[in-house]
Structure 1
Amino acid sequence: MKTLGKFLSTTAVLLGLFGLAPTAHADPGRFMDMKTAVKAPIGHRQFCRDNGWACQNERYEPVVVKLTENRWNELIAINADVNRRVRPMTDADLFGKEEYWTYPVDGYGDCEEYVLEKQRVLIEAGWPKSALLITVAKDIQNGGHAVLTVRTDHGDMILDNQIEAVLPWYSTPYRYIKRQSASSPVKWTGISDTRVTTVSSISN
């Protein structure tokens, strides 16, 4: 497992992370700007039909995880473990469909399978559901991409299968479009991502 010191020494954007006051109001840029309710992605709706136990129509109070050094190391370790044991394969090759969301099949999957597996493993490790949110973005080639947003007292952190490091959302090269609501696993909220490097948004 990477220690916090080693990780921060190789990730300049996170230097001093644990020395900052854990207040959301001190630096709103650390947190995605969430807007109005939007439709869930078609793939997530299909996933919920197939896996009702994972998409119960429940509501809960949003939780922001206190990012201790132990929690941070656990987050890095789980992200790295899933990235290592799941091998990339497109939905078209794996399922014969352009878009199909599920858990990894025989150790294979695309970005959604990585995200769903990381969310599942973190929940099993005791992380709160409301802090582990499937998030849809556009990548640098303007293609659809999914990552896992982890809500912490130091901001929204991104677990990704294309980038090894766990990074703050604003330090990733993506344009964020929408993510699961922090109040319900079946609700989704639009993201106002107004940074300079804009790309087209994904349709609802």
Structure 2
Amino acid sequence: MNCLKGLGLAAVTAVMAIFSAGQAFAMPPGAMRVIGQANPPLGHYEFCQTYVSECAATYKDAGPMTLTEDKWRTLLDVNYTVNSSITPMTDQEIYGVEERWAYPRTVGDCEDFVLLKRKMLMKKGFHPSDLLITVVLQPNGEGHAVLTVRSDRGDFVLDNMRNKVMLWSDTEYTYLKRQASDNPARWVKLQDGRATAVGSVGQ
């Protein structure tokens, strides 16, 4: 995937108005709709061969988490910390291969950003069934990966192309597929509700 198009990191802004005192939260559009099974991206399949324990189905779907102000601040902090500490580079530039998913140390592409954010959030107590690697298409047709965070206030997206954490439905992406909520090695096809069903990549 070419994950570097349109990259630009802005300064972190204040916590969104959804937690402002005295304001009721406006419920977002429905969560992304799962419409079937999908093949995992090749890079994730190979990642699972290396990190077997991280791709084992050792948990059940806990259901969307309750999004508190503290959890929201943690999402903002982790997204900003990873975005500002990892320099974006393609796998070709780093490893000399077209696709390799790995935990980044100083450089990485979009999937590497996602893997690190997911790992950090799990260490902070987020349930893995709510932290789902997701494959999308950018408006220019190029593939990209983001981290979907499921919550009772909607599905939010952590993206290496922006520090703002947004509802999936507010982004410019077309959502193709993501990890299953009950098995990190399994993937499901998505219909995001804003358009007709779309196919998945990496089949």
Q: Given the two structures, how large is their TM-score scaled by the length of structure 2? A: 0.85
1:31 aligns with 2:31: yes
Counterpart contact for 2:135–2:146, Cα < 8 Å: yes
Structure 1 partner of 2:109:
110
Higher-strand-fraction structure: 2
Give the RMSD, CA atoms, in angstroms: 2.6
SS in 2 for 1:178: strand
SS in 2 for 1:166: strand
What is the CA distance between 1:58 and its match in structure 2?
A: 3.2
Counterpart residue type for residue 96 of structure 2: G
Structure 1 partner of 2:120:
121
What is the CA distance between 1:63 and its match in structure 2?
A: 2.6
What is the CA distance between 1:133 and its match in structure 2?
A: 0.3
What is the CA distance between 1:98 and its match in structure 2?
A: 0.8
Structure 1 partner of 2:144:
145
**Which consecutive unaligned segments of at least 5 residues does structure 1 have?**
none
1:120-142 per-residue CA deviation (whole Å, 9 max, x = no partner) reads 00001110000000000011211
Q: Matches of 1:185 and 1:78 in 2, distance apart? A: 21
Structure 1 partner of 2:74:
74
1:40-77 per-residue CA deviation (whole Å, 9 max, x = no partner) reads 11111000001112111334133311111111011101
What is the CA distance between 1:118 and its match in structure 2?
A: 0.1
**Which consecutive unaligned segments of at least 5 residues does structure 2 have?**
1-10
Change in Cα spacing, 1:2 to 1:92, as seen in structure 2 (3 Å) is closer
Q: Matches of 1:121 and 1:177 in 2, distance apart? A: 24
Q: Matches of 1:197 and 1:93 in 2, distance apart? A: 36
Percentage of identical aligned residues = 37
Change in Cα spacing, 1:103 to 1:185, as seen in structure 2 (3 Å) is same
Counterpart contact for 1:63–1:128, Cα < 8 Å: no
Q: Matches of 1:155 and 1:64 in 2, distance apart? A: 8
1:20 aligns with 2:19: no
Higher-helix-fraction structure: 1
SS in 2 for 1:165: strand
Q: Matches of 2:142 and 2:99 in 1, distance apart? A: 13
Q: Matches of 1:78 and 1:42 in 2, distance apart? A: 26
Q: How many residues align?
A: 192
Counterpart contact for 1:2–1:73, Cα < 8 Å: no
Q: Matches of 2:186 and 2:118 in 1, distance apart? A: 16
Change in Cα spacing, 1:63 to 1:198, as seen in structure 2 (3 Å) is closer
Moved over 6 A (4+): 197-200
Q: Matches of 1:159 and 1:153 in 2, distance apart? A: 16
Counterpart contact for 2:132–2:181, Cα < 8 Å: yes
Counterpart contact for 1:136–1:177, Cα < 8 Å: yes
Q: Matches of 2:171 and 2:15 in 1, distance apart? A: 16
SS in 1 for 2:16: helix
SS in 1 for 2:162: coil
Q: Given the two structures, how large is their TM-score scaled by the length of structure 1? A: 0.85
Counterpart residue type for residue 63 of structure 1: G
